[in-house]
Amino acid sequence: MNDQTIRDVLTKTKRIALVGASDRPDRPSYGVMKYLLDQGYDVIPVSPKLAGQQLLGQTAYATLADVPGKVDMVDVFRNAEAAWGVAQEAIAIGADTLWLQLGVINEQAAVLAQDAGMTVVMDRCPKIEIPRLGIMR
């Protein structure tokens, strides 16, 4: 994945579904969600255990299919094995990008999403990439 592709994704993306969201401030997904909200992204938490609750001022949904409206990017905070199913859901909702977080590596999920026309970023974190690439929102 080259820097220009990552820059393009983070510049064009407006609405992010964060799969594996946590209400625990010590969890990476919580910190990344807060950071992305602070950067001006519309971030929707996706977590079956938080469905219907508010997380950082945003309503949480149980699944990607439950999220109303268009989702540009699906940011995955789940284990590598779960990435395949999330990729299938992301394709089904018509997301543009599948972003697998640091340590989430699933080549089959990446190929599935790419074959469906999605951009895939794997083993990266937008909270690191935004300042590294100097992206201003």
pLDDT digits (tens, 9 = 90+) for 72-117: 999 999 999 999 999 999 999 999 999 999 999 999 999 999 999 9
Q: How far apart are CA 88 and CA 21, in angstroms?
A: 18
Both tokens assigned to 127: 């909270």
Amino acid found at 113: A
pTM for this one?
0.96
Q: Is 128 left (phi over 0), alpha (psi -120 to 50) or beta?
A: alpha
Q: Is 61 left (phi over 0), alpha (psi -120 to 50) or beta?
A: beta
* Residue 47: pLDDT over 90: yes
Amino acid found at 109: A
Q: What number does CATH give the domain 3-131? A: 3.40.50.720
pLDDT at 136: 84
